[in-house]
Amino acid sequence: MVKHSVVNLALIKSLRTDKNISVEEMSKRMGYQGYQGYYYKENGSRKMSADDIAKISVILDVPINELFFEN
């Protein structure tokens, strides 16, 4: 059986809010012009790239592997 990793969006949002980082601030740190660039990814409307996940890991100071569910 093949295992797939799925980004844990609820955990990312929780970690972000625990660190008092707004969606707007997260978007800026990720290199987006407006908040929507990040917002739509965090709420699951758009897929996150490997680069996005790497940036989030650094910004939230958490190992990349902790940002995933194992299916």
Express each pLDDT in 13-28 by its tens digit.
999 999 999 999 999 9
CA distances from 53 to 1, 24, 59 (A): 25, 17, 10
Given a cut of 90, whether residue 2 has pLDDT beyond it is no
44 vs 3, more confident: 44
Is pTM, for the whole model, over 0.85?
yes
For 47-65, letters b (16+ CB in 10 Å) and e give: ebeeebbebbbebbeeeee
Confidence of residue 69 (pLDDT cuts 50, 70, 90): confident
Average pLDDT over residues 42-63: 95
- Rounded to 5 degrees, φ, ψ at 51 are -65, -40
